[in-house]
Amino acid sequence: MDAEAFVRSVLAIADTEIRRGYVRAWLRDTPIERTAVVLESVCAQADQAEARAEEALLSIVDALFAGPDEVPAALRSYARQEKLLSLERLVRHSNPPAPHDARVAEVAIPDYGYGRPLTLGERKSLARRPTRALIDRLLLDPHPDVLHRLLANPRLTEDDVARLAARRPGRPDVLAEIARSPKWLRSRRVRVSLACNPDAPVEVATRVVRLLVRPDLTLVASSPNVPAEVRTICLELLERRPPSRFGAIDPKRIH
């Protein structure tokens, strides 16, 4: 399968979850040499703002966030060996670490108004069917399982998630969980908020910036607290990107 056939196959799948599963299986089952050549071509086309390649790259990033770690590590090694520069920018850093319960204990559980602390199971249940009044409290819950369920809830809005992604100080495990959500990874506002947040894991931010248009890359590159690794990739991409068809995002809407 060449790059054109790969893009055509990916875009033929309408459902984002099924599309992510297809790309994950392709990444797992295709020999690394062939995978690298195809992804280099897709990434290079996306660098030039080719719309179909950009859409396919979104699904590739989505699949890489879903794991496993072995694939990006192998791609990174091969891309460096063969000097596949567009692919190397995509996999320059390893996958974000999985959330760890030890970090959960460091953050207080919010008061849910029940007169007693809720168990994890009760909080996960609330996240599946929250009232609007409870969403703000659930967004402060420190457990990634609660956030994972909340991010899939249809009552959650783009404003909610963009604010969470922009929150300072941010929690790296929370920001990584947002990036793993196929629905919210497709939001331009959420992507920019993640990339601009200095507390986002470098592995998350460097992969997310591959999905940004030129004005947003400029915004991230000029943000004073962005890690040097993230700024470097933004500047590399700006050298390759044509003028954007989108306007810049107002920073006040992000922060």
Contact 226, 198 (CB under 8 A): yes
Show Cβ contacts of residue 191 under 8 Å, excluding neighbours closer than 6 positions: 185, 208, 211, 212, 216
Show Cβ contacts of residue 37 under 8 Å, excluding neighbours closer than 6 positions: 3, 84
CA atoms within 13 A on the CB side of 231: 9
Q: How far apart are CA 38 and CA 169, in angstroms?
A: 38
pTM: 0.83
Q: What is the pLDDT of residue 104?
A: 47
Q: What is the pLDDT of residue 131?
A: 86
CA atoms within 13 A on the CB side of 85: 6
Q: What counts of helices (H) and strands (E) characterise the chain?
A: 18, 0
- Distances 50 to 10, 19, 114, 241 between C-alpha atoms, Å: 15, 19, 52, 10
Q: How far apart are CA 161 and CA 138, in angstroms?
A: 12
Give 101's pLDDT tier (boundaries 50, 70, 90). very low
Quote the mean pLDDT of the chain.
88
Q: Is 17 helix (H, G, I), strand (E, B) or coil?
A: helix
Q: What is the DSSP letter of 129?
A: S
Q: Per-residue pLDDT tens for 130-157?
A: 888 889 999 999 888 899 999 998 889 9
Q: Per-residue pLDDT tens for 214-242?
A: 999 999 999 999 999 999 999 999 998 88
Contact 209, 234 (CB under 8 A): yes
Q: What is the pLDDT of residue 219?
A: 96
Q: How far apart are CA 204 and CA 223, in angstroms?
A: 17
Q: What is the pLDDT of residue 244?
A: 59
Contact 75, 184 (CB under 8 A): no
Query: Would you give the end-to-end CA distance of the chain in angstroms?
Result: 43
Domain residue extents for the chain? 3-90, 102-254
Q: Per-residue pLDDT tens for 150-202?
A: 999 888 999 999 999 999 988 898 999 999 998 999 999 999 999 999 999 99
Q: How far apart are CA 57 and CA 201, in angstroms?
A: 20
